């Protein structure tokens, strides 16, 4: 038996156990502009990029993920292919997790919720005395005293 058009669009008649992936609206921002993936792939496969990889890691890195992300991004941009969009988002999450892995594994530094209460206290006397004649200290003093410099008549113009 065939279903009518009304039956196909009726939400009560659609199967509730559909396994089609959906994109969470809160994660759409993870999909970068497609040109970024193209540029990253180009940089990764360039001579300069390969030299950098050899210097840092001792071997060339796999750049295929940038190419896959570019292809999936193009599919997402052109036809709103949800599978491609989900693939790009998952790749971005994996890349971000890899980048922040050292931060998450850090057990040397204590993480704090707020800055120390005395973060803006005056500098120690020895440090203030050492830095009192610097250019930055002079400018800070002028700003505190609200001195306004007259605009000089000489301007640097690049033509």
Residue 13 has pLDDT above 80, yes or no: no
- Dump the DSSP string for 8-71: HH-TTTS-TT-------GGGGGGS--HHHHHHHHHHHHSHHHHHHHHHHHSSPPP-HHHHHHHH
Residue 129 has pLDDT above 60, yes or no: yes
Q: How many CA atoms lie within 13 A of 41 on its CB side?
A: 13
Confidence tier at 23 by pLDDT (50, 70, 90): confident
Which whole number is the average pLDDT over 21-39? 89
Residue 22 has pLDDT above 50, yes or no: yes
| pLDDT at residue number 35 | 96
């Amino acid at each position: 038996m065939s279903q009518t058009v009304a039956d196909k669009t009726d939400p009560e008649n659609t199967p509730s156990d559909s396994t089609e992936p959906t994109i969470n609206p809160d994660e759409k921002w993870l999909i970068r502009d497609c040109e970024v993936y193209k540029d990253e792939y180009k940089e990764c496969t360039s001579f300069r990029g390969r030299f950098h990889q050899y210097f840092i890691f001792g071997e060339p890195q796999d750049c295929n993920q940038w190419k896959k992300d570019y292809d999936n991004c193009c599919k997402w941009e052109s036809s709103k292919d949800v599978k491609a969009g989900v693939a790009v988002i998952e790749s971005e999450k994996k890349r971000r997790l890899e980048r922040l892995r050292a931060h998450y594994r850090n057990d040397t530094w204590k993480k704090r919720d707020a800055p120390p209460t005395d973060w803006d206290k005056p500098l120690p006397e020895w440090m203030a005395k050492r830095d009192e004649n610097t250019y930055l200290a002079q400018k800070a003093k002028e700003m505190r005293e609200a001195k306004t410099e007259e605009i000089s008549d000489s301007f640097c113009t690049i033509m």
